[in-house]
Amino acid sequence: MAKNVLKGIAALLAALLLVILIYVAYVLIDYHRIGDQTLSAEQNTELTAKTGTAYTMLTWNIGFCAYSRDYSFFMDGGKYSRAYSREEVYKNLNGITDRISALDADFTLLQEVDLKATRSYSVNQKQEILQKYSNQAGVFALNYDSSYLFYPFHSPHGKSRAGELTLSKYRQGQSQRVELPIETGLSKFVDLDRCYMKTEIPLENGKTLYVYNLHLSAYTTDGTIVFEQLKLLLADMRSDYARGCYAVAAGDFNKDLLGNSPEVFGISHDANWAKPFPFDMLGEDISLWHGVDAESPEPSCRNCDIGYEKEKTFVLSVDGFMTTPNVTVNSCRVINEQFMHSDHNPVLLSFTLQ
């Protein structure tokens, strides 16, 4: 009897080991980077942007429409790996698009827009948003396409396919998906693929506004990765400016754009991903805009170890803009949504091309 029990346990362990080996092999074989790509607008408009006119640009990480106000995320030490339900995904998606419509920006740059991912119950968020704004130009770049993650075991995070969506009321030219450096070695299986999307906006005077939509790395073990990513981005923007063009970059930098958010918002935390932005990389030619008012500061992001509770949840500013010297910024502000439908608040920029 004891022998049979031991044999049964041994067989079970052997089967478990085989499953683990098969899964590891799947992850190794399935791993790939998307690479640089040339993209075209999936829908376009005939309106042409011009200099000397004030425009608005909105950036918003929509958190794959999973982050309801009380939602916490397992990678931040919270509970959940997926949205509460498919219905909740649509509730958040509708809340987000309603707010985008109300803000009525000329350019809208969104991050963490899912394409039929496990974590958001296969809702094609890109398609839903493009359909809602069918009168605007729109282009999408896949940021990462990860293997199926069998963790947490009780509710696996699954396969994630998400990217950056740039909408504009004005005609778009070509776009480029530019691959960013990420961690190497075994760490590359944890660090998601990353890119920024560079979109041409042809201007009435024959010049070009380049709009950069970005979502930089967060959960890295190598702190130099963000420097390498920013180095590539800033060099690209400087090249645009040197050619007489305009450049505005917007998105989720995944770094503390204030440098001291715990002091500003009065809430300390040991979130190891929330490192200060490397301001010395900007030089005198690139300006950074976070939209946080010194008198009445509002954060753009919350940590997701717990649901949002004002004055308890750790908050900071990671979303904003960078501009070249020929772009005049009229105003920049965080729109306080109280994290109702995402773990990020939108940030709105008003600017004029000189």
Task: Tell me: do 17 and 79 sit in the same domain.
Answer: no
Structure-block tokens of residue 96: 């987000």
List the strands of the sheet with 175-179, edge to edge. Answer: 37-39, 175-179, 195-202, 208-215, 246-252, 319-323, 287-289
Q: Where does residue 36 rank: exposed (0-12), middle (13-18), buried (19+ CB within 10 A)?
A: exposed
Task: Tell me: do 193 and 71 sit in the same domain.
Answer: yes
Task: Tell me: do 349 and 332 sit in the same domain.
Answer: yes
Task: Tell me: do 17 and 164 sit in the same domain.
Answer: no
Structure-block tokens of residue 89: 């995904």
Q: Is 150 within 8 Å of 75 (Cβ atoms)? A: no
Which residue is listed with tokens 């998906």?
Answer: 177
Q: What is the CATH number of the domain that holds 39?
A: 3.60.10.10
Q: Strand, helix or coil at 227?
A: helix
Q: Is 157 within 8 Å of 149 (Cβ atoms)? A: yes
The rounded distance, in Å, linking the Cα atoms of 89 and 68 is 9
**Phi and psi, residue 271, nearest 5°:** -60, 110
Quote the domain boundaries for residue 6.
1-30
Q: Is 341 within 8 Å of 98 (Cβ atoms)? A: no
Task: Tell me: do 180 and 76 sit in the same domain.
Answer: yes
Bridge partner list, 54: 352
The neighbour count for residue 173, using CB atoms within 10 Å, is 16
The rounded distance, in Å, linking the Cα atoms of 62 and 345 is 8
Which residue is listed with tokens 């130099």?
Answer: 224
Task: Tell me: do 16 and 50 sit in the same domain.
Answer: no
Helix, strand and coil percent figures for the chain, each rounded to 5: 25, 30, 45
Task: Tell me: do 25 and 163 sit in the same domain.
Answer: no
Residue (of 181, 180, 250) closest to 210 by Cα position: 250
Please state the separation of Cα 334 from the chain's center in Å. Answer: 16
Strand residue runs (E) in 268-346: 287-289, 301-302, 315-316, 319-323, 327-334
Please, what is the Cα angle at 317 between 313 and 323, to 5 degrees? Answer: 170
Task: Tell me: do 3 and 75 sit in the same domain.
Answer: no
Task: Tell me: do 49 and 10 sit in the same domain.
Answer: no
The answer for residues whose C-beta is within 8 angstroms of residue 239's C-beta and 6 or more apart is: none
In the prediction, which pLDDT does 270 show? 74
Please, what is the Cα angle at 249 between 246 and 251, to 5 degrees? Answer: 160
**Phi and psi, residue 129, nearest 5°:** -70, -45
Q: How many domains does the chain have?
A: 2
In the prediction, which pLDDT does 147 show? 74
Task: Tell me: do 197 and 331 sit in the same domain.
Answer: yes
Task: Tell me: do 183 and 198 sit in the same domain.
Answer: yes
The rounded distance, in Å, linking the Cα atoms of 213 and 250 is 5
Residue (of 127, 164, 158, 124) closest to 143 by Cα position: 164
In the prediction, which pLDDT does 31 show? 67
Cis peptide bond prior to 152, omega within 30° of 0: yes
Task: Tell me: do 200 and 342 sit in the same domain.
Answer: yes
Q: What pLDDT tens digit does each residue of the chain (354 aa) get? A: 677 777 777 777 777 777 667 766 766 666 668 889 999 999 999 999 999 999 999 999 999 999 999 999 998 889 999 999 999 999 999 999 999 999 999 999 999 999 989 999 999 999 999 999 999 999 999 998 777 776 787 777 778 889 999 999 999 999 999 999 987 766 555 557 899 999 999 999 999 999 999 999 887 666 678 889 999 999 999 999 999 999 999 999 999 999 999 999 999 887 777 889 999 999 999 999 999 999 999 999 999 999 999 999 999 999 999 999 999 999 999 999 999 999 999 999 999 999
